[in-house]
Amino acid sequence: MSNKILITGASGLVGRALTDSLIQQGYKLHILSTQKSKVNTNSYPKTFHWDPMSNELDLRSLEGIDSIINLAGAPIAQRWNKAAKSEIVNSRVKSLEILAHHIKTHHFPVKYLVTASAIGIYSNSVTQYYEEKQAQFSSNSFLSSVVQKWEAALGAFDNADLKICILRIGIVLDANGGALPKIMFPIKNYFGAALGTGSQWQSWIHTEDLVGIFSHALKSKIEGVYNAVAPNPVQQSELTNTIARIVGKPIYLPNVPQTVLKLILGEMSAIVLESQRVCSKKIQKTGFDFKFHEVSAALEDLLRF
């Protein structure tokens, strides 16, 4: 079997960490980038150009590829105006559609696709405990609609002879990017506070464990939908207070009201206000062992000085 893997979205937070890990494991990587300045087809990892929005793809990127890791998609954390919403949806949908089109049209023998998805697909609830089989998706949440369209785009692979794994990812905790530095900033500067009621559930995962899940999927070729979250979600107030304890800063201020967050962030406030308590048992049953089960252990690892 070929050890050549194609990665989309390799320049993102998760993509960078995963790329480094796969290179260390001896995989030969093909990377798709929308930036022509990054093209390098002479040595591994090889970088090829694509532009899903314009249906452009360098077909050399698919030559000899056994498996694809799809992380492509515009950042969710941006002001949700009409143009941004369109980009957030289309960047995810069109990325999958162009890959499917060329794999089928040119008969590339790709055997496996593991794609990012998100737990935002589940309805906002402080009481539900979501497993993958539960189809309680929201009809009025932008985040849920994005993920529903994202996963529906996998239908483009309907007659391609490959297995598909969907990883619904929670809040990725990493010291160098993503949500954690943004949450830490006010806490470290003495104006930290829990957000909204503080009771909303936040299902998180340490970057190292998320990279491990992608590697596990590649090796075991698991199929279907899996929640890529740590075994123990926390409520927002607990996350805030745990960070404060670890960085040695007190929390003086009362919770930031939902109305204030909506005023500052607009509709994007849903990222921090919506609640999804998500179960990880299914991925564990495939043989994956989490290194970080508790948020305190994950944060102590990431924030140790």
Q: What is the CA 168 to chain-centroid distance, rounded? A: 7
pLDDT at 1: 46
- Our separate counts of H helices and E strands in the chain read 10, 12
Residue showing tokens 């239908």: 155
- Strand, coil or helix: what is 101? helix
Give CA–CA dist 262/269, Å, rounded. 5
Counting the structural domains of the chain, the total is: 1
Q: Is 101 inside any structural domain? A: yes
Q: By residue range, what is the domain housing residue 143?
A: 4-172+204-230+278-294
Write down the residue that tokens 């993503």 correspond to: 178
pLDDT at 77: 85
pLDDT at residue 135 in the model: 62
Whether residue 79 lies inside any domain: the answer is yes
Q: What is the pTM of this model?
A: 0.96
pLDDT of residue 95: 98
- Note every long-range contact of 186-192, with CB atoms under 8 Å and residues 24 or more positions apart, other chains counting: 187/240, 187/243, 187/244, 187/247, 187/249, 187/251, 188/247, 188/249, 190/249, 190/250, 190/252, 191/253, 192/240, 192/243, 192/244, 192/249, 192/251, 192/253
What per-residue confidence (pLDDT) applies to 155?
Answer: 95
Please say whether the beta carbons of 68 and 99 come within 8 A.
Answer: yes
Q: Please report, for the domain that includes residue 124, its CATH number.
A: 3.40.50.720
Q: Is residue 147 part of a domain?
A: yes
Residues 6+ apart with CB under 8 A from 74: 84, 87, 88, 91, 92
- Is there a domain that residue 142 lies in? yes
Q: What is the pLDDT along the chain (305 residues), one digit of tens a residue?
A: 468 999 999 999 999 999 999 999 999 999 999 999 999 999 999 999 999 999 999 999 999 999 999 999 999 988 899 999 999 999 999 999 999 999 999 999 999 999 999 999 999 999 999 999 876 677 688 999 999 999 999 999 987 789 999 999 999 999 999 999 999 999 999 999 999 999 999 999 999 999 999 999 999 999 999 999 999 999 999 999 999 999 999 999 999 999 999 888 888 899 889 999 999 999 999 999 999 999 999 999 999 85
